Structure 1
């Protein structure tokens, strides 16, 4: 009887493990109010679910993960998942990890790292996300040629076929460890992508702002605009201080009442987007 119960338990447990394996196209959007199994171990400042303010605005939940810099738990920018992001990435055809990201305080160099059948690996090239409080789309390719073996790694292909642990981290070099840095990473819509390419990051190359630095007036110039063109201004802390529709290719803002500091000027028409840094003196 005990043997039968044990076999039944084993079968049920195996079924639960299979259900937790990574699937092509899966997305963690954090709308269930949890961290969706993302953690950073014993950190005193673990990832938390924030109930509003994601890339889709009000009521769009997202995940916030701070790092404190220095040494000890919580000092490094890294978070990991050993649940629904474990599995055979090669078999299901996942070629990239895609997500929305916003960075506060200090610029981050984002990478994906895996542990698994062939040991630890990390993406060779980082995606640099400047601090500034603006949401942007990040895509990190994860084919075998996109990885570097790091300490404890021996075979990239074996790991991709049997991932046990996925990490999103910041480091200037490929590593299993995040860098020690004072910063905050906010993420949403973490996706197991089967194709490469982010279509909505086409830049508006004609955007010009002057003078920069400036004191009283800020002139914004575009080659053309559409009926969906908008202008947004964020301060260095990511607070939206202006959101208006653009009606002319040349716009002048009165900025004499702005506090001195760094601002980010964002122009978007729905399919194209450009951001310029502006310094108010």
Structure 2
């Protein structure tokens, strides 16, 4: 079956409380047949899935392109036996799957059994945390970005009430600390590779930047 499956902890859990609104990635089709890509989310009840209703068609020979799938009740249907409400599945995700199914394959959460070729990169989830509606607290910079071992956060001005928080793509907080001077260094060597959101905030305002861990 043509499918990319991930059950790592950073992709499981309650998508609703994490504010996940879409899943995005880069894909290329190196084969001679079209792909009809969908996202499938499996709940803890094994064969019960929430599947995106409309496939994104990637024509044969398509070079790298970015695609996005909305993750909500209006954009997904429930598949599996017995069926479970999409809203319930989104609160208890155990597996995420990217697969090709043009709607003629049963069950609907299975990938095409034909020989297909594709590559995927930069798979991320967009959440309410990534919406750039924050009020700046004063510009800050992060470097190096991307980075393997450390993250330097440099402020343009210092306020002792500021705190530093880092979230993964699902909105899970993986680091929190006080900002004690104009420049703070965080050891990221043990973090998983991927995209993170770095937030500086106080009780009233906050500002967020995107960080990539190699």
Normalised-by-shorter TM-score class: 0.5 to 0.7
CA contact (8 A) 1:117 1:161 kept: no
Q: Show the counterpart of 1:155.
A: 85
Q: Describe the shift of the 1:117–1:158 C-alpha distance in structure 2 as closer, same or farther (beyond 3 A).
A: farther
- Equivalent of residue 178 in structure 1, options 97, 103, 111: 111
Q: Show the counterpart of 1:140.
A: 69
Distance 1:112 1:92 in 2: 18
Q: Which has the higher helix share?
A: 1
Q: Show the counterpart of 1:111.
A: 38
- Equivalent of residue 96 in structure 2, options 135, 157, 166: 166
- Structure 1 position 99 matched with structure 2 position 32: no
Secondary structure at the counterpart of residue 149 of structure 1: strand
Where do 5+ consecutive residues of structure 1 fail to align? 1-75, 196-281
Secondary structure at the counterpart of residue 137 of structure 1: strand
Count of aligned positions: 120
Map 1:235-250; keep pairs closer than 5 Å.
none
Larger Rg computed on CA atoms: 1
Where do 5+ consecutive residues of structure 2 fail to align? 129-214
Structure 1 vs Structure 2 CA RMSD: 1.6
- Structure 1 position 190 matched with structure 2 position 119: no
Distance 1:185 1:90 in 2: 30
Q: Show the counterpart of 2:12.
A: 86
Runs ≥4 in structure 1, deviation > 6 angstroms? none
- Equivalent of residue 57 in structure 2, options 128, 145, 151: 128
Distance 1:122 1:133 in 2: 24
Structure-1-length-normalised TM-score: 0.41
